[in-house]
Amino acid sequence: METVQLKLEERVATITLNRPGQLNAMNIELLTSLNNALEEVEKSSADIVVITGAGKAFSAGGDMKMMLQEADAQQFSQVMDMIESISLKFYSLPKITIAALNGAAAGLGLSLALGADYVIADQNARAAMNFIGIGLVPDGGGHFHMEQRLGAVKAKQLIWQGEMLNAEQAYEVGLIDQYTTNEFSQLVEETVGHILKAPTKSMIETKEIIQKKHYNTLAETLKSEKISQQKMRETKDHQEGVDAFLNKRHPEFKGE
């Protein structure tokens, strides 16, 4: 089964993360396929890109099995480099991008979604930058995107709390732009339809002016996240967080 599905229909490209049985958790296969899909979309004639998830979730984030298997530095570096490539490609796409949160977006999944121009959600969607639960820091540009949307102080606090927000809460703090209590597919169609009727060349030009201004900051953030993630993987708190996750218990962190 393809871990990422790409559908091109005239001016609209739809990318679907497709590991529904694993809540679209991102393993190396999915990350590689997503990177390839973004390259294909960039070359296409599409003006709008919608990214969503199959099944009940947008994405639960990084695949925990993959994270546990990345014991050696080379494997870890390869995964982080792929995340960096995806984050920069998605952020700088010369298209109007929409993250359609059909369900939960957590960790790396939320970082990816926040890189979109518009983030819209189903009323049952959830959002969490929950790396803190296993003693890690956000990756995928999570620090950058949270600060862009919330400001530095609120971004820090939400990252430290790592709480799962429902759609209404995520909207109120500014993580998402719109959510619906009606049929979610209708909101997606309406959003796409509204943009298709607009002068998209003008919209994309504005996007490129703004994105170019911040591109290097995102690139620097991604490199910092890679370094910090490696440091945190070596802490006792991370080991405790992983063990607690695997054994379904509350972690007991000691700041070590």
CATH of the domain at 31: 3.90.226.10
Overall domain count for the chain: 1
Q: Which domain holds residue 36?
A: 4-184
Per residue in 94-140, pLDDT tens?
999 999 999 999 999 999 999 999 999 999 999 999 999 999 999 99
Assess if residue 100 is contained within a domain. Answer: yes
Q: What is the rounded distance in angstroms from the CA atom of residue 230 to the CA atom of residue 235? A: 9
pTM of the model: 0.95
Residue 89 has a pLDDT of: 98
Counting as low any pLDDT under 70, the low residues of the chain are 68-73
Distant-in-sequence, close-in-space partners of 212: CB < 8 Å, separation ≥ 6: none
Residue 69 has a pLDDT of: 59
Residue 75 has a pLDDT of: 81
Q: What is the rounded distance in angstroms from the CA atom of residue 249 to the CA atom of residue 201? A: 51
Assess if residue 40 is contained within a domain. Answer: yes
- Measured in Å, how far apart are the chain's first and last C-alpha atoms? 41
Assess if residue 63 is contained within a domain. Answer: yes
Q: What is the rounded distance in angstroms from the CA atom of residue 192 to the CA atom of residue 99? A: 11
Assess if residue 196 is contained within a domain. Answer: no
Assess if residue 71 is contained within a domain. Answer: yes
Residue 73 has a pLDDT of: 66
